[in-house]
């Protein structure tokens, strides 16, 4: 069971999409898991043949539990647990072991070993209780302070208990529990407020060049091929990350790990309430049409409550775009373990000084929420200046 | 059930002295200024007039001399109550207490009992500076042959003395100097004596055990109140008896709450808090969900200015912060 | 073509974008965004659907004229949809 977000402790297996004996290609959706973020398709990062399903539908499974075994390609005897960590950022505790290509014919998945040199502190009580209850301590997710205590063991135990309500839910009703989603948002934001010393830096940018370019571009295209302004905006934000790497990455257990790739969380509102910010990968390197297609697909699937596990693997930075006919500015709150969030207000015509004269320009106020444990306002200022420069020549995006 | 009365800690000590003097003719009180002056903390005011110079005896400023005389009187069959002004001054009598009172029963093969009760004020908080403000209870609690008790409530101040007088071995009673003006409930009538064996759970809670004694109890209770507002439930344990420690009560609580915070006005190095932490680690290690923490006095002679005195000694804020850390909030 | 037909084609395009609105009353004169969550992505799909169903090329600058079902009907009529 992959961790589909920093705050996830368990998920309910609602459907197997593959049967034992079926071939699986890398990236195939193998199962559907229900989480606080809705129904998520779990993809395999391991090609092969599904050998054994270990978890029945309806079961609530703690993060790190083996869901199924896949026999590797070319008749290799080693079975790889179904897992989706390949794209996920490294964690102090790997939720499942990586497949060992050279491993002997031992079919049982290896007990998970603490990765890296750092030993995760676990309280004596937590260790004892985990042992008594048959919970592998390596599967336990540390708490916000990086240690494993009674609370983490209790959570894992609760997750192991047979689930009642979710299993009873009819298949057609699969989707979101909005109250649960609100609790998940609350938990993440409370943690953010508690742990992250935020700072905010804003700039109001002249979007006339961007909008003029967009109008020219879209005028030549049929409606389905047109771009939303959000697309070049996301691209500019993603590219500008290179000028402030301390805004892009994860802060976990007192250590900031910058990310070379820009996996951008895009906050998408659900109809009827709720918010989810799945990632589009490598936004800085996608051309605008591909980015538009990905965004389109993502919005569609968010609304349909069907996301993929790799999209929920933690984004490295998030953009929260208020959109049209909303409000002028937003002071966004960082989604841990990320260290920055970019908030975009609506586009508004404002008086603007250009060449010493007063003109009216479409403008947007962009606000960076940054994490003082990692960066200062200066980083955000540098980043915003870079966004502004990139948006002056949108054709180069 | 009879109604309770509300009296001050000082009145409780005075009532206890008076009760002892009335109930047992072998009991007498001696110490510096206990007679004509009424006691440096006014615990014995009026007793000289009621009981006379034979039983309320002012002594010279010689702790070694009058504590030694008290030990001798106890060996001789009396039930002396010796008042020492502060624990700092008791160091002059340490030889008598540790080398004589604590050892005589042992060295006489059990033939000679030393039923002396030695009372003294302890602790900071009254701006009496470094030579009057230290908390050295731990030194006495270190010594086998002595029972050390610390009444932290008015009821214990009222009830512990009589029980201590029944003990055939020396008992040292530590009265924290900030407690004398505090008010509390005591039973309206009947037997007021209380045990001097067990720790008391002053407040029940599930999230952590706040272990303390003496003058720190009220701070621990105030901290527990504040923490209750954050839904952190503290079990507050008043040790009452510092030697022998009631390990059973401490361990039972820690095994239930899984977290221990010890509040001790003594200095951390070589403290009673250290001893308790060690016993928890020895006996309840596998029940701990967090490292044992201590809130102790800063390792400086207790300063005179009020703000520095407060900064040097355990305070509610510090206890609350340490408790939050223990429950990882 | 009646105004009713134009409203119906717009409603069909709308439901294709937001199937969750099926069965709900959509006021013809009230702007979409006042009635339900309708963001720019939804709007884009709506316009694309409308253009496909009617065969009318709808340039981006006309988007502000398509904010309600009645708006759409008027617009389609002006653009000569039959």
* Cβ contact, residue pair A147, B328, below 8 Å: yes
Closest CA to B239 of B268, B262, B206, B207: B262
pLDDT for residue C62 is more than 60: yes
Domains of chain A: 10-172 (2.40.50.100), 189-396 (3.30.559.10)
Domain boundaries, chain C: 3-78
* pTM of this structure: 0.50
- Taking each helix axis from N to C end, the angle separating B154-166 and B9-23, rounded to the nearest 10 degrees, works out to 30
Closest-CA residue of chain C to A269? C37
State the pLDDT confidence band at A348, using cuts at 50, 70 and 90: very high
Would you give the DSSP letter of residue B305?
S
The 10 Å CB-count burial string (b at 16+, else e) for B112-135 is ebbbbbbbbbbbbbbebeeebbbb
Q: What is the largest CA-CA distance in chain B?
A: 60
Identify from C22, C39, C46, C49 which residue to disrupt to test chain A contact, counting A C-beta atoms within 10 A and taking the largest count. Answer: C39
Q: Which residues pair with A359 in a beta bridge?
A: A352
Q: How confident is the model at residue A74 (pLDDT cuts 50, 70, 90)?
A: low
Q: Residue C48 and residue A218: Cβ atoms within 8 Å?
A: no
Which residue, among B42, B38, B94, B33, has the nearest Cα to B63 in the 3D structure?
Answer: B94
Distance from the Cα of B211 to chain A's closest Cα (Å) equals 20
The verdict on a CB contact (< 8 Å) between A223 and C20 is: no
CB contact under 8 A, C40 and A228: yes
A123/B290 touch (CB, cutoff 8 Å), yes or no: yes
Phi, psi for A92 (deg, rounded to 5): -60, -40
- Portion of chain C with pLDDT greater than 90, in percent: 0
- pLDDT for res A88: 38
Q: Do A124 and B290 touch (CB under 8 A)?
A: no
d(CA B53, CA B28): 10
> What rounded mean pLDDT belongs to chain B?
96
Best mutation target, A120, A121, A123, to test chain B (most B CBs within 10 A):
A123
B206, HSE (Cβ side, Cα atoms, 13 Å): 1
Looking at CA atoms only, how far is residue B255 from chain A in angstroms?
A: 10
Task: Please pick, among B32, B83, B132, B265, the residue that the annotation labels catalytic.
Answer: B132
Q: Are A337 and A28 in contact (CB under 8 A)?
A: no
Q: What pLDDT, on a 0 to 100 scale, did the predictor assign at position A268?
A: 84
Q: What is the dihedral of CA A347, A351, A353, A355, to 10 degrees?
A: 90
- Please report the DSSP string for B56-77 in residue order: EEE--S-HHHHHHHHHHHHHTT
- Interface with C, mutate which of A212, A223, A229, A327 (most C CBs under 10 A): A223
- Rounded distance, CA A49 to CA A26, Å? 11
- Chains A, B in contact: 3+ Cβ pairs under 8 A? yes
DSSP letter at A148? Answer: B
Of A218, A271, A299, the CB nearest to C60: A218
The catalytic residue among B63, B137, B235, B265 is: B63
Higher per-residue pLDDT: A138 or B21:
B21
Percent residues over pLDDT 70 in chain B: 99
Selecting from A128, A145, A150 the residue whose C-beta is nearest the C-beta of B286 gives: A128
**What pLDDT shows up at residue C44?**
86
DSSP structure class, residue B100: I
Contacts of A228 in chain C (CB under 8 A): 40-41, 44
Topology classification of domain C3-78: 1.10.1200
CA distance C59 to chain A (A): 6
The average pLDDT across B168-184 equals 97
CA-to-CA distance for B235 and B232, rounded, in angstroms? 10
Q: pLDDT tens digits for A275-298? A: 788 889 999 999 999 999 998 888
Predicted local distance difference test score (pLDDT) of residue A73: 63
Pair A70, A99: CB distance under 8 Å: no
Give the other-Cβ count within 10 Å of C79's Cβ: 12
- For residue A120, give Cα distances in angstroms to A17, A123, A146: 35, 10, 7
Of A144, A145, A150, the CB nearest to B289: A150
- CB C60 to CB A323 under 8 A? no
Q: Does C12 touch chain A (CB under 8 A)?
A: no
Q: Which residue has the tokens 């909005």?
A: A178
End-to-end CA distance of chain B: 43
Which of A223, A271, A303 lies at the smallest CB-CB distance from C44? A223
User: What would the mean pLDDT of A237-261 be, rounded to a whole number?
Assistant: 92
Does C51 sit within 8 Å of A296, measured CB to CB? no
pLDDT > 70: what percent of chain A?
A: 82
Distance CA A331, CA A329 (A): 7
Q: Tell how far CA B325 is from the center of its chain.
A: 28
Interchain proximity A149–B289, CB inside 8 Å: yes
In our burial notation (b when 16+ CB lie closer than 10 A, e otherwise), range B58-95 reads: bbeeebeebbbbbbebbbeebbbbbbbbbbbbbbebbe
Chain A residues at the C interface, defined by Cβ less than 8 Å, are 215, 218-219, 222-224, 226, 228-230, 269, 271-272, 295-296, 299, 303, 323-325
C40, C54, C62: best mutation site toward chain A, by most A Cβ within 10 Å? C40
Poorest-pLDDT segment among A59-68, A244-253, A328-337: A59-68
Cα-flanking dihedrals φ and ψ of residue A272, to 5°?
85, 5
Active site annotation includes B310 = no
Query: pLDDT category, A55, cuts 50, 70, 90?
Result: confident
Picking from A23-37, A314-328, B234-248, which range would have the lowest pLDDT averaged per residue? A23-37
Across the range B141-160, mean pLDDT stands at 97
| Residue of chain B nearest A123, judged by CA positions | B289
Would you call A223 and C41 a contact, using CB atoms and an 8 Å cutoff? no
Answer with the residue of higher pLDDT: B45 or A119: B45
Q: Report yes or no: A357 and A180 within 8 Å, Cβ to Cβ.
A: no
**In the structure, what pLDDT confidence band is assigned to residue A370 with cuts at 50, 70 and 90?**
very high
Q: A296-317 pLDDT, tens per residue?
A: 888 877 776 677 777 776 789 9
d(CA A364, CA A324): 11
Residues in chain A: 397
Question: Between A183 and C64, whose confidence is greater?
Answer: C64
Position A62 scores a pLDDT of 85
DSSP A282: T
Q: State yes or no: pLDDT of A371 exceeds 50.
A: yes
Q: How confident is the model at residue A166 (pLDDT cuts 50, 70, 90)?
A: very low
Mark yes or no for CB contact B289/A126 under 8 Å. Answer: yes
Instruction: Specify the residue for token string 């008594």.
Output: A132
pLDDT of residue B166: 97
Cβ–Cβ < 8 Å for B218, B265: no
- In chain C, what is the greatest distance between 2 CA atoms, to the nearest angstrom? 31
> What residues in C contact A323, CB-CB < 8 Å?
39-40
The CA distances from residue A179 to A11, A176, A197, A269, in Å, are 16, 9, 28, 15
HSE at residue A49, side-chain half, CA atoms within 13 A, is: 11
Q: Report the pLDDT value the prediction gives residue A101, as an integer from 0 to 100.
A: 43
Chain B partners (3+ C-beta pairs within 8 A): A
SS3 label, residue A250: strand
Q: What is the pLDDT of residues B68-99, one digit of tens each?
A: 999 999 999 999 999 999 999 999 999 999 99
CA distance C18 to chain A (A): 9
CA B306 to chain centre: 23
Listed range (A180-194, A350-364, B133-147, B262-276) with the worst mean pLDDT: A180-194
Percentage of the residues of chain C whose pLDDT score is greater than 70: 95
Q: Percent of chain A beyond pLDDT 90?
A: 36
How many CB pairs below 8 Å do chains A and B form together?
Answer: 27
* Confidence at residue C11, expressed as pLDDT on a 0 to 100 scale: 86
Which structural domains are found in chain B, ordered by start? 4-187 (3.40.50.970), 200-326 (3.40.50.920)
Nearest CB to B289 within list A125, A144, A145? A125
- Pairing, β A10-16 against β A29-35: antiparallel
- Do B and C have ≥3 inter-chain CB pairs under 8 A? no
CA separation for the pair B14, B48 (Å, rounded): 12
CB-based contact, C64 to chain A, within 8 Å = no
Residue ranges of E strands in B51-167: 56-58, 79-86, 117-122, 147-149
Minimum CA–CA partner of A296 in chain C: C41
Highest mean pLDDT among A28-42, A314-328, B48-62, B178-192: B48-62
Based on the residue annotation, tell me whether B189 is a catalytic residue of this protein. no
Structure token digits, residue B305: 């200015």
Distance, CA of B275 to CA of B245 (rounded, Å): 10
A68/B10: higher pLDDT: B10
Which distant-in-sequence residues (6+ apart) come within 8 Å of B53 by Cβ? B35
Q: Can you tell me the mean pLDDT for A36-41?
A: 77
> Which range, A8-12, A17-21, A264-268, B69-73, is most confident?
B69-73
Q: Of how many residues is chain B composed?
A: 329
Helix axes A208-219, A230-240, angle to 10 degrees: 130
Out of A89-93, A96-100, A274-278, A372-376, which region has the weakest mean confidence (pLDDT)?
A89-93
Residue of A320, A313, A196, A312 lying closest to A256 (CA atoms): A196
Question: What pLDDT sits at residue A323?
Answer: 86
Give the pLDDT confidence of B283-293 residue by residue, as tens digits. Answer: 999 999 999 99
Mean pLDDT of the region A220-245: 92
Q: With contact defined as beta carbons under 8 Å apart, do B116 and B73 qualify?
A: yes
3-state SS assignment for residue A82 = coil
Nearest CA distance, A369 vs chain B (angstrom) = 24
> Sheet harboring A10-16: ordered strands across?
A60-62, A10-16, A29-35, A38-43, A306-308
Q: Please, are residues A293 and A283 in contact by the beta-carbon 8 Å criterion?
A: no
Report CB contact under 8 Å: A124, B286: yes
């Amino acid at each position: 069971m992959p961790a589909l977000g920093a705050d996830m402790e368990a998920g309910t297996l609602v459907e197997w999409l593959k049967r034992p004996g079926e071939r699986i290609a890398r990236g195939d959706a193998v199962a559907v898991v229900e989480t606080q973020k809705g129904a998520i398709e779990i993809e395999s990062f391991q090609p092969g043949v599904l050998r054994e399903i270990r978890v029945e539908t309806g079961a609530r499974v703690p993060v790190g539990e083996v869901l199924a075994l896949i026999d590797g390609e070319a008749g290799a005897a080693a079975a790889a647990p179904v897992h989706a960590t390949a794209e996920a950022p490294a964690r102090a505790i790997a939720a499942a072991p990586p497949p060992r290509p050279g491993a002997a014919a031992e079919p049982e998945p290896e007990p998970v070993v603490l990765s890296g040199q750092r030993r995760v502190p676990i309280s004596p009580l937590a260790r004892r209780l985990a042992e008594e209850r048959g919970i592998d301590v390596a599967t336990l997710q540390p708490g916000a302070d990086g240690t494993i205590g009674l609370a983490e063991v209790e959570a894992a135990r609760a997750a192991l208990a047979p689930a009642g309500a979710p299993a009873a839910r009819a298949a057609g009703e699969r989707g979101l529990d909005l109250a649960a989603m609100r609790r998940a948002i609350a938990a993440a934001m409370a943690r953010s407020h508690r742990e992250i010393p935020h700072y905010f830096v804003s700039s109001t940018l002249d979007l006339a060049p961007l909008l003029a370019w967009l109008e020219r571009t879209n005028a030549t295209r049929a409606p389905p091929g047109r771009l939303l302004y959000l697309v070049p905006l996301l691209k500019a934000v993603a590219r500008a990350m290179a000028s402030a790497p301390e805004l892009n990455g994860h802060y976990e257990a007192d250590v900031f790990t910058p990310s070379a790739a820009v996996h951008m969380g895009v906050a998408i509102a659900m109809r009827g309430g709720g918010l989810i910010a799945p990632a589009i990968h490598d936004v800085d390197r996608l051309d605008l049409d591909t980015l538009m297609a990905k965004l389109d697909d993502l919005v569609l699937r968010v609304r349909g409550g069907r996301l993929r596990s790799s999209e929920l693997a933690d984004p490295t930075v998030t953009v929260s775009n208020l959109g049209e006919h909303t409000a002028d500015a937003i002071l966004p709150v960082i989604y841990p373990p990320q260290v920055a969030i970019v908030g975009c207000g609506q586009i508004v015509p404002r008086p603007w000084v250009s060449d010493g004269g007063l003109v009216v320009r479409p403008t947007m106020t962009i606000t960076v929420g940054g994490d003082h444990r990692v960066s200062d306002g200066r980083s955000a200022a540098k980043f915003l200046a870079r966004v502004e420069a990139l948006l002056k020549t949108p054709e180069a995006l | 059930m009879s109604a309770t009365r509300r009296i001050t800690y000082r009145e409780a000590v005075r009532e206890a002295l008076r009760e002892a003097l009335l109930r047992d003719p072998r009991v007498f009180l001696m110490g510096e200024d206990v007679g004509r002056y009424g006691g440096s903390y006014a615990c014995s005011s009026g007793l000289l007039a009621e009981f006379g110079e034979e039983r309320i005896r002012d002594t010279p400023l010689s702790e070694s001399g009058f504590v030694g005389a008290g030990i001798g009187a106890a060996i001789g069959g009396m039930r002396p109550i010796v008042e020492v002004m502060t624990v700092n001054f008791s160091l002059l009598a340490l030889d008598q207490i540790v080398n004589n009172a604590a050892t005589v029963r042992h060295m006489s093969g059990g033939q000679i009992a030393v039923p002396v009760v030695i009372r003294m004020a302890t602790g900071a908080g009254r701006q009496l500076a470094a030579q009057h403000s230290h908390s050295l209870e731990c030194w006495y609690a270190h010594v086998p042959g002595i029972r050390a008790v610390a009444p932290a409530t008015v009821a214990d101040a009222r009830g512990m003395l009589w029980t201590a007088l029944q003990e055939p071995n020396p008992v040292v009673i530590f009265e924290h100097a900030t407690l004398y003006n505090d008010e509390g409930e005591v039973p309206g009538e009947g037997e007021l004596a209380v045990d001097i064996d067990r720790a008391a759970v002053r407040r029940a809670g599930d999230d952590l055990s706040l272990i303390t004694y003496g003058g720190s109890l009220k701070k621990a209770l105030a901290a527990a109140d504040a923490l209750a507002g954050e839904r952190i439930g503290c079990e507050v344990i008043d040790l009452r008896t510092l030697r022998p420690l009631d390990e059973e009560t401490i361990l039972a609580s820690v095994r239930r709450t899984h977290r221990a915070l010890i509040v001790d006005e003594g200095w951390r190095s070589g403290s009673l808090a250290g001893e308790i932490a060690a016993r928890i680690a020895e006996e309840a290690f596998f029940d701990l969900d967090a490292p044992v923490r201590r809130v102790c006095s800063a390792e400086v002679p207790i300063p005179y200015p009020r703000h520095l005195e407060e900064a040097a000694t355990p305070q509610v804020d510090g206890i609350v912060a340490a408790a939050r850390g223990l429950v990882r909030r | 073509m009646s105004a009713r037909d134009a409203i119906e084609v717009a409603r069909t395009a709308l439901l294709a974008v937001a199937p969750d609105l099926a069965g709900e009353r959509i006021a013809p004169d009230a702007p979409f965004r006042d009635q339900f969550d309708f963001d720019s992505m939804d709007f884009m799909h709506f316009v694309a659907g409308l253009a496909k169903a009617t065969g009318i090329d709808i340039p981006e600058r006309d988007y502000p004229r398509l904010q309600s079902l009645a708006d759409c009907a008027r617009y389609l009529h002006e653009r000569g949809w039959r």
